[in-house]
Amino acid sequence: MLPLLIAHPFFPSRFLGQSGLQYPLSSSCLVGLSRICFSTFEKGCKNRVIQFKMNTIMVRNFEILTKNEIIQARAQLKSWFISNQRPLPWRDSPDPYATWLCEIIMQQTRIDQGTRYWQSFIAKWPSFESLATADSEEIMKTWQGLGYYSRARNLHKAAKIVANDWRGDLPTSAKSWQQLPGVGPYTSAAIASICFGDPSAAIDGNALRVLSRWAGIHEPIDKPTGRKPIEKLAGEFLDISDPGMHNQAVMELGALLCTPKAPNCEHCPLNENCKSRVEMVGQTPIAPVKAGKIKVRRVALTFHVIVNENKVLMRQRPSQGIWGGLWEFPSCWIDSESDDLEKNQLPPLNNRQGLHETGPIVEPFEHILSHRKLKVTFQSWRSNAAFHEKDMKWFRWEDARKLPIPRAIEKNWEELENSMPKQQFS
């Protein structure tokens, strides 16, 4: 059958041309045309533009949501959230300290893992004031295993600012909360909206996914062309009568139903007007795309366990970079693509008098960081003298274990201790 040639007032001008040229369609494409007129032809396009006119959300001049539909969607989302939200401990009361602590800990962290850390911090330091006076190494030790250790350092700095500079007088706007280290647009909006009713849309990864799918925005979300339309949509959709609950509802929807790989569209409260669902009938709505991913690098990492009598040599890593501020055994990193990553950070051990290699300990293993895959080995050494190097210090073995150390060492500590030649501790 020959393709039909039709003209339709809903077709974007780039399909019709200057003179309203007709666009070839097969007859099957005409089914449901009035319902998905713009979606069929916008599918896969990379240049949608969100516009807001007369209380209506538009995509490239085509109406997708009226004011009444927006109000209805807010109500449906709120109702779903009230019935389905997870019983998370920080939701019991909108306490600014508990909410701030939660938002910092949950960055790049699974909810089950983050909850345990949140509970540990709350138990040890229940307020900004108590956290401000805490020992920095105890904070790092409590944070150990969460990764992205700059968050822990910023946590301590921020608590000191609140306790000493603000004297507990907390701001109510998202913009003011961004004065604290480690608090960006999302975190500040979450705190201010949940705790103080500030009408700011909180846009995390879950919200990005929900809103981009809902409006059918397929631009890379890490580029302004994709991010700005989503931010506009989030602001328009925000329920200013209860912004805190609304923000939590959008994020909860992304966490429970609108998941990256297996969204449960059937039970989604926004499924009626979800443009991605309309476009992908019978398929999984696409997830937000990014312009490019950072390549995972393979790195060979050797820890040198150097023992003098009953003490072990530890090195404190620089405050910036991987495992910033944590203690480790002196290490050597060799990048598979750039073998000078940290190649020169360790003194030439073989040339040091009185230092003897005693062999490898612990089976080599892989340890995954965000953008690096580490092949980790431990090498043991015996030293006849307690020599000194910059950023290094000798500790009794039992004291070294109390230091904030990387997870790659901590999870192998007992095996390391049992594998070390016994004469090294005599």
What would the pLDDT profile of 357-397 be if each residue is shown by its tens digit? 777 788 888 888 777 888 898 988 888 877 777 788 999 98
CATH superfamily of 297-425: Nucleoside Triphosphate Pyrophosphohydrolase (3.90.79.10)
pLDDT higher than 90, residue 299: no
Determine the pLDDT at residue 127: 96
SS (H, E, C) 267-278: HCCCHHHCHHHH
Distance CA 316, CA 360 (A): 22
The contacts of residue 351 (CB under 8 Å, 6+ apart) are none
| DSSP annotation string for 136-193 | HHHHHHHHTTS--THHHHHHHHHHHIIIIISTT----SHHHHTTSTT--HHHHHHHHH
What would the pLDDT profile of 247-275 be if each residue is shown by its tens digit? 999 999 999 999 988 899 999 999 988 88
pLDDT higher than 50, residue 16: no
The contacts of residue 45 (CB under 8 Å, 6+ apart) are 218
**Would residue 398 show up in a list of annotated catalytic residues for this protein?**
no
Which member of 42, 63, 69, 103 is catalytic?
Answer: 103
pLDDT higher than 90, residue 115: yes
Four-way CATH pick for 69-279: 1.10.10.60, 1.10.630.10, 3.40.190.10, 1.10.340.30: 1.10.340.30
Determine the pLDDT at residue 419: 74
Distance CA 86, CA 82 (A): 9
pLDDT higher than 60, residue 210: yes
Q: How confident is the model at residue 175 (pLDDT cuts 50, 70, 90)?
A: very high
Determine the pLDDT at residue 364: 85
pLDDT higher than 60, residue 136: yes
Instruction: Give Cα separations from 41 to 16, 22, 30 (angstroms).
Output: 11, 13, 12
Distance CA 314, CA 119 (A): 30
Determine the pLDDT at residue 190: 97
Token digits of residue 173: 């706007």
Backbone CA torsion sign across 128, 132, 137, 138: negative
CB 411 within 8 A of CB 144: no
pLDDT higher than 90, residue 279: no
List the chain domain ranges: 4-63, 69-279, 297-425
Determine the pLDDT at residue 350: 52
The residue among 78 and 280 whose pLDDT is bigger is 78
Token digits of residue 165: 């500079």
Classify residue 339 by burial, with Cβ atoms within 10 Å: 0-12, 13-18, 19+.
exposed
pLDDT higher than 60, residue 6: no
Q: How confident is the model at residue 222 (pLDDT cuts 50, 70, 90)?
A: confident
What would the pLDDT profile of 142-164 be if each residue is shown by its tens digit? 998 888 888 999 999 999 999 99
